[in-house]
Amino acid sequence: MRYGSARILVRIAAAMLLAASADASRAASPRPVEDTLEQRMQACVACHGERGGGVAGAAFPRLAGQPAAYLAAQMKAFREGTRTYAPMNFLMARQSDAYFAEIAVWFASQRPDPRVVEARRGAAVDRAALAAGQALVQKGRPDDELPACVSCHGAGLGGRTPAIPALAGMPRDFLIEQVGSWKTGSHRSPEPDCMSRIARRMSGADIVAAATWLSLQQPDAGPEPKSDALPLACGRG
């Protein structure tokens, strides 16, 4: 499994989510334990961190501070199978759009955990590759018609409403996996699929360099507002 053995975590998480749906259908009966969204989202902590703030040393993405519509769209994509990662497909399978919207708004309003990036700093990195990654993210490569990542993902890489995700402080291996799967065509987004076009203009070394630099940036910035001036049209965002 790409992210290590997650089977036990998923079993616990699924039990919590199923308990939550059962509770909802028995809404009239008194409950011994307070049932809050935060409590139900404990099901996500092992992989996504406390309040979705992220975890160091694993390839799980943080959810905190991401644009809400982005999170909701991804949960739907896992439910419908257009995005595949077996544990997430399983967890989202029976949930409704309304529940996704509620979960998304809650995570969007949480703060990323700054300790995640701190924990990664200090590891040896190739300085030249890091500089190349930074240049690619901030300036793109006009000769190859590769737009700067910041032009869509925001100057502070905190994403853009409604549905362009933040990249700052995301795990390196997660970023490589995502961009790599657009490049090979194993993952597609709704047309016009700007990320597939962008990923195909990147070499393997470009992807690793950009991902390494991004994973070391503190996620200080929140999402920027929607823009009508993106360098490429995107089906979402």
Interface ranges with ligand HEC (CB under 6 A) = 3, 6, 9-10, 13, 17, 43-44, 46-48, 60-61, 63, 71, 73-75, 83, 85, 87-88, 91, 103, 136-137, 147, 149, 151-153, 163-165, 167, 175, 177-179, 189, 194-195, 198, 210, 230-232, 234, 236-237
For ligand HEC, the closer CB: 37 or 121: 37
CB of 233 to ligand HEC, least distance (A): 7
Nearer to ligand HEC, 114 or 188 (CB): 188
Can you spell out the DSSP letters for 196-227? HHHHHTS-HHHHHHHHHHHHTS-----PBPP-
Instruction: Read off the tokens for 185.
Output: 């065509």
From the list 144, 143, 166, the residue with the least C-alpha distance to 155 is 166
Name the token pair of 226.
């929607």
Look up residue 88 and give its amino acid. M
Residue 107: CB minimum distance to ligand HEC, A: 7
Nearer to ligand HEC, 93 or 115 (CB): 93
The SS3 assignment for 146 reads strand
CB closer to ligand HEC, 119 vs 230: 230
CA nearest to 87, candidates 57, 50, 48: 48
Q: How far is the CB of 5 from ligand HEC (least distance, A)?
A: 9
Q: Are the beta carbons of 104 and 71 closer than 8 angstroms?
A: yes
Taking the least distance from each CB to ligand HEC, the nearer of 93 and 118 is 93
